[in-house]
Amino acid sequence: MSVTAADPTRTQRLRRVFVLVGIALAAVALLVEPVARRQLSDGRSVDLGVLQLKLAYNSGVAFSMGDQLPTGVVLTITAAITAGIGVYAWRTASANSMTAMIGFSLMFAGAAANVIDRGLDGKVTDYFHTGWWPTFNLADTYLTCGVALLIAALFWESTRTPAKASPA
């Protein structure tokens, strides 16, 4: 993800984008969850074709892994990973592209929204159901899209950056 030499103005702009996009997306995910809980709490499902809205809860992490662990342990680990993503994105902003920073923002927003949701009642609220994939939420889509965008940025930038000649 190396970009040109560090420009303080560019670095500040990338950090600002990271924070603003992260906060905005996390807020959207956190605002959707109580609506999903309220509208789907009676066991009702809304068919949207390929996707259904159906309420589920996950006390573990991805694919319910760790659901037997105490909530405090899962919360501590996921909060530490979320903080790690944030710190890494912040500290490497000068070497990242805008695409990579938006990828980091998506990952951070998704992770932070899930940590906050879990902190409220010990579990994450999920509501997107496919029937062939575990039920997930908006924050999970942020995480997935963020990782995909970050990988795309890495590949894109590696093809645009000329290879350095190795010393003979």
Q: Please confirm, yes or no, whether 126 is among the known catalytic residues.
A: yes
Q: Are 124 and 118 in contact (CB under 8 A)?
A: yes
Amino acid sitting at position 164: K
Of these residues, 47, 67, 117, 140, which one is catalytic? 140
Contact 59, 71 (CB under 8 A): yes
Contacts of 18 (CB under 8 A, 6+ apart): 89, 90, 93, 101, 104, 105, 108
3-state secondary structure of 4: coil
- CA distance linking residue 75 with residue 114, whole number of Å: 9
Q: Is 42 in the active site?
A: no
Instruction: Give CA–CA dist 97/161, Å, rounded.
Output: 12
What lies within 8 Å, CB to CB, of 36 at 6+ separation is 53, 55, 125, 127, 137
Residue type, 161: T
- Active-site annotation, residues: 126, 140
